[in-house]
Amino acid sequence: MKNYYNEVQDEIKEYFKVLEPDFPLWLHDYINTKELLSQQYISVTCGTIYTDLFDSNFFFSSLDHSVAVALIIWHFTHDKKQTLSGLFHDIATPVFKHCVDFLNGDYMTQESTEDLTSEIIKNSKEIMALLERDHIKIEEVDNYHLYPIADNDTPQLSSDRLEYSLSNALFTYRLLHLEQIKNIYNDIMIQKNEKNEIELGFQTKKIAREFVKVTSRLSIIYREDRTRYSMQFLADILKRLSDDKKISVQDLYQLKEEDVISIIESSKYKDVFNLWKTAKKVKVSATQPKDVYYVHHGAKIRYIDPLYNGVRMSQCCKIAKKMIDKNLSYDMNQYVYLDFNF
């Protein structure tokens, strides 16, 4: 039987140890199911890892992210159901992750694939047998929105939002090193927010401010010109391949990203795909460019305004509020393009 943890990069294992020093052994059986293992071949970068528009070349998978979310939830709750809801929350993720939301026209909320979560779990004999063994009902683990420590509304801090912030800062964009991650993580505890609901929050104002600084930078990266262009470009190539009967929607959930890239590179779109892969910088214009493929729309705003001892940082720290306001004012009104059409 394939064991995911044995094959994880040492750098990721060290990160996991920060999130939860004692890896819960019971979690391995769930991780090593076919449906979850398929998430090993999907990058959390939504395909941007494959272009020179971004410097990152570290492959942190959708499964790495889901395991890390589960570890955070377990660390703070020691509740199996909540932990499994975090582990399963991206089980319906297709290749290029949120690019398929762009394909579905859902670039503002990026939740179009979540409805498949229950169906995938229900159709997995392995997962259903494990749930039955552990006396857990599917409706207790197929929707992590039920548990505020696992997930909550922006700009609150949840395990999911915390995880992709830490791992992107550590691995993808190299904004922090492991000791800084540890310092941030160890300052977090469960608190009560302004609605008297439980939420993860910080105990030290300086650390909370540093977290706001990093996540505000990440927030812009997630929706800046090169990101929106890349995600829509990949979505449009997938749409055209689908129209050409070269790939099916089902393939997006069953193939590895490297397999889909091979299909693209064997298609009539290989030249434009290569131009995107080797591009160093996108171009922008206030007016609609002619005779080129362009992107002109917004994207989901992912940002965090965390608690510091029960109070939002934007309410108790002028510096944090300034950073958040600057982040939220990022202009997405430009036309974004490269010098090609297809």
Query: Within the chain, what is the greatest distance between any pair of CA atoms?
Result: 61
Contacts for 109 with CB less than 8 Å, ≥ 6 apart:
101, 300
Low-confidence ranges of the chain (pLDDT < 50): 107, 109-110
Residue 103: the pLDDT is: 67
Is it true that the peptide bond before 289 is cis, omega within 30 degrees of 0? no
Contacts for 142 with CB less than 8 Å, ≥ 6 apart:
85, 88, 117, 118, 121
Map out the domains of the chain with their CATH numbers: 4-190 (1.10.3210.10)
Residue 64: the pLDDT is: 98
C-alpha torsion angle, residues 31, 35, 37, 38 (rounded to 10): -160
Structure confidence by residue, pLDDT tens digits, 197-220: 999 999 999 999 999 999 999 999
d(CA 126, CA 143): 19
d(CA 285, CA 304): 30
Among 6, 146, 130, CA closest to 73: 146
Helices in 157-224 by DSSP H: which ranges?
A: 159-167, 178-185, 205-223
Q: Angle at which helices 10-19 and 178-185 pack, to 10 degrees?
A: 20
pTM of the model: 0.94
Residue 110: the pLDDT is: 44
Q: Which two tokens stand for residue 285?
A: 């214009």
Structure confidence by residue, pLDDT tens digits, 19-77: 999 999 999 999 999 999 999 999 999 999 999 999 988 999 999 999 999 999 999 99
Residue 299: the pLDDT is: 86
d(CA 100, CA 109): 12
